[in-house]
Structure 1
Amino acid sequence: MPAQGGVAGEPDTSRHEDPAESVLLAERCARAALTRAAEPGDVRLGQLLAEQGAQWVYGALCEGRPLPGVGERRLSTWQTRIEEARPEEELAEVAALGGRFLCPGDREWPVQLDDLGEARPVGLWVRGRCSLRFAALRSAAVVGARACSGYGLQVAAQLSAELADRGWCVTSGAAFGVDGAAHRGVLAAEGLTIGVLACGVDRAYPASNGELIARIAERGVLVAELPLGAHPTRSRFLERNRLIAALTRGTVVVEAQVRSGSLVTARRAAELGRYVMGVPGPVTSQLSAGVHRLLREEGELVTSAAEVIELIGDIGELAPRQEGAVLPRDLLHPRCREVLEALPARTAVTALSLSRRLRMVEPEVHARLLELGTLGFVERQGGHWQLTRTCEDHQRVTERSLNCGDSVKR
């Protein structure tokens, strides 16, 4: 069998194999079985793996021996579940699906998962032709509400497609709503996406996303901690979220209520030192209330892929500044703008009265008025100056806006 990441052909242990390869197979089988015994993110199992090794823990469970620091109830559950494990057969089954089982230390293992410490996955069941490690190197999570609005669907799809166009992988949970829109946006842009499941990689959950999940397996990567055939539960969804956070450089939340699983992903990302970002929505929408709280407390506001990449990308990958249209008056010298803005909208005034209002010497005011006259902003009426018709209309609109603001303040 290959030295890294998977099983080729029938895993017949009766064959004469290279000793190092036999040890690797034993380790892989032990870890595959343990993904069936314990729930994802079990810290005590992680501690035992670090202290004793996977083969020792697996052997102890098979033989009914006690495990240090493991209570009777948990031990009984692990022992019951381990009886159902068929690790060699399951490794062959996932290989038949075009997948593999990854262990820490494999070349394809994403080393950023090690940041989870004792809650690191025992192993990962993976489907897809792409390397999980390489896909996760430049990856951003896009998550959000399942029952999202049309705005949320549009933003998630567009943001994800833009990230894909810029060479970034988008990771999400293949669920309804924002997750599904994020994956579809990437696939439409012919980019790379990672779907992290709370069930086995041979199952489609939700079932109505079956076609989407199949496309992710074909053109991206499907990942799960749970073995083949495993079904999702609420706790498994929550633990799945920590994988999404750990695999990526940052998490973007698009629509989330105050109590939302996507905010759990954001919190996990913050705990791991990853960037946490949110896309704002209407202040009247409860679907964005959780995002707005996130932005107030710890998140970065983003509205485009360029702004996401500026945070999580390499040095120098800056988003272009968004500015309003350049108006003719924006090109004026600052002192010219002062004089222009001091002119009343409807009446003509002298240079002397303007100099007093601006506390600027009269010769300079006069010089600025001459400049403005050549540019068509003002015109002379005897010894007085006034705005031209076009400039007067603009000034009147500006004054109305300012007066409206003043009335609100009052």
Structure 2
Amino acid sequence: MTIFNLPESDVLGLLAGVRGMSDDTGIDPAEAFARAAWTCIAEPGDGVAGLVVNTLGAAAALRLVLTTAQPERWEAALMEQGEAADPEGEALRVESIAGGIERWRPRLNSVDVVRAFGQARRVSAQLVVPGDALWPVQVADLGQHAPIALWWRGIPDALRALDNSIALVGARASSGYGEHVAMEAASGLVDRGYAIVSGAAYGIDGMAHRSALASRGLTVAFLAGGLDRFYPRGHDDLLTKIAQSGCIVSELPCGQEPTKWRFLQRNRLIAASSNATVVIEAGWRSGSLNTASHAAEMGRPLGAVPGPVTSPSSAGCHRLLREYDAVCVTNAAEMAALVDDDGGSGDGQAGAGTNVADRSGEYTSDETRLIDALSTRSPRYSIDVARRSGLSVTTVTSTLAFLELAGAVAERENGWVLAPKARKGDARARQK
């Protein structure tokens, strides 16, 4: 038997290097390997990929895409398992499946999967999948947008601690006030038995992690790229310490670089894995509002720390308090009460249904992904852009046409390039 054109013995050998600490509970090796392969094939948050994997099983879905099965065959297989729904909640149509196939096929390369396993083993990264004892079951609230598998480095206790954790997030360009609040909040929450979750960015994130470590607590950092490429680079030492006494997690395999789109998708994991999210300091269009949006959509308690009304660094927090029903919190005790009291809202639905991230910016999510995949110097053909962005070639072609009209990209004789001004564009929801 072969899996992804690899002999079963090779598959078992690859898994042996990354499954030692996952506390697996009899997970089929073929299923675990296929889920790892899907992290190389589909972009984070791909709802169609999540649906077919969860409905058919990762191995069966992988076989279908490898055998170049037509969308109708996928639809029939899904219907055999019961009625399926696409990310918008309607019956999964042939068009949705066809779009998914176009996105995945440019990445069907077993060499890339083998390389990802090798790099994971080199840095002592582990693979955890649904059904494992270490799997954070709360991410199921993301539905078909939940991660297919997760890669992690650290100690198992930190991953288990996500069951009792609070996310502290905020601006990269933080003030002394914001960093002081983050330090006191993380320390106080650790004293109350909570693990601290954040994104390891500069500013508030970094301070929250450092304070948790200094208080000898557990902290978990979610990254937007592979675990072999720490980002930001200035936090190499911090992330190394987290990996030693806490945990770093990513749904992307080793070798993958962070992009703006992946930061936005990473934010949903921060919100989903935590019992509550607190925004300590944020500008009007901070990426922290994207994390807050995900927390609100899942009905998770959401808190915001007020700041000086004259400070742009607190404008996003004030916006959450005024427009999105976030709870005003000023210290660790009030942040802990978000979990204990359901945020004082009665139903835990702070700002439910309001997508904060969609309230500003000019680029759509597809446009953001294409801009991330392009270079100002090296022209790239549409098929290469599709592979890098995780979008179908059809979507890439049509979206590039719109971006060209807007002056954001240009077509050269040997491919597409990014206009310098596009990098300075005001994306829909900036990464932190």
Q: TM-score, normalised by structure 2?
A: 0.66
Does residue 310 (structure 1) correspond to residue 337 (structure 2)? The answer is yes
**Take 1:124 and 1:66, find their aligned partners in 2: how far apart are those partners?**
29
What is the aligned partner in structure 1 of residue 101 from structure 2? Answer: 75
Q: Is the 8 A contact 1:202 1:228 kept in 2?
A: yes
What is the aligned partner in structure 1 of residue 197 from structure 2? Answer: 171
Give the aligned residue type for 2:291.
T
Give the aligned residue type for 1:63.
T
Identity %: 44
What is the aligned partner in structure 2 of residue 110 from structure 1? Answer: 136
> CA deviation digits over 1:84-125, x for unaligned, max 9?
555456445424433311111111111101111111101000
Distance 1:109 1:302, change over 3 A: same
SS at 2:156 equivalent:
coil
What is the aligned partner in structure 2 of residue 300 from structure 1? Answer: 327
Q: Is the 8 A contact 1:33 1:82 kept in 2?
A: no
Give the aligned residue type for 2:57.
G
Give the aligned residue type for 1:178.
I
Q: Extract unaligned runs of 5+ from structure 2.
A: 1-9, 17-23, 75-93, 343-432
The structure number with the bigger radius of gyration is 1
What is the aligned partner in structure 2 of residue 11 from structure 1? Answer: 12
Give the aligned residue type for 2:105.
Q
What is the aligned partner in structure 2 of residue 248 from structure 1? Answer: 274
1:183 Cα deviation (Å)? 0.5
What is the aligned partner in structure 2 of residue 278 from structure 1? Answer: 304
Does residue 27 (structure 1) correspond to residue 27 (structure 2)? The answer is no
**Take 2:293 and 2:138, find their aligned partners in 1: how far apart are those partners?**
17
1:135 Cα deviation (Å)? 1.2
What is the aligned partner in structure 2 of residue 182 from structure 1? Answer: 208
What is the aligned partner in structure 2 of residue 47 from structure 1? Answer: 51
Q: Is the 8 A contact 1:136 1:169 kept in 2?
A: yes
Q: Extract unaligned runs of 5+ from structure 1.
A: 1-8, 316-410
Q: Is the 8 A contact 1:33 1:85 kept in 2?
A: no
Q: Is the 8 A contact 1:91 1:100 kept in 2?
A: no
Q: Is the 8 A contact 1:170 1:182 kept in 2?
A: yes
Q: Is the 8 A contact 2:119 2:228 kept in 1?
A: no
Q: TM-score, normalised by structure 1?
A: 0.69
**Take 2:51 and 2:269, find their aligned partners in 1: how far apart are those partners?**
18
Choose from 123, 135, 144 the match for 2:149. 123
Q: How does 1:7-406 map to 2 (within 5 A)?
A: 11-12=12-13, 24-67=28-71, 68=74, 69=94, 70=96, 74-84=100-110, 86-87=112-113, 90-91=116-117, 93-131=119-157, 133-297=159-323, 298-313=325-340
Q: Which moved more, 1:137-146 or 1:304-313?
A: 304-313
**Take 1:309 and 1:95, find their aligned partners in 2: how far apart are those partners?**
37
Distance 1:14 1:49, change over 3 A: closer
**Take 2:27 and 2:67, find their aligned partners in 1: how far apart are those partners?**
20
Over the residues paired in the alignment, what is the CA RMSD in angstroms? 2.5
**Take 1:37 and 1:83, find their aligned partners in 2: how far apart are those partners?**
8
Q: Is the 8 A contact 1:200 1:224 kept in 2?
A: yes
Query: How many residues are paired up?
Result: 303
**Take 1:94 and 1:246, find their aligned partners in 2: how far apart are those partners?**
24
1:134 Cα deviation (Å)? 1.9
Give the aligned residue type for 1:134.
R
**Take 2:233 and 2:118, find their aligned partners in 1: how far apart are those partners?**
25
> CA deviation digits over 1:267-295, x for unaligned, max 9?
11011111100111100011101101101
User: Which protein has greater RCO, CA pairs closer than 8 Å, 6+ apart?
Assistant: 2
> CA deviation digits over 1:188-232, x for unaligned, max 9?
111100000000111111111111111111110111010101101
SS at 1:281 equivalent:
coil
**Take 1:21 and 1:293, find their aligned partners in 2: how far apart are those partners?**
45
1:243 Cα deviation (Å)? 0.3
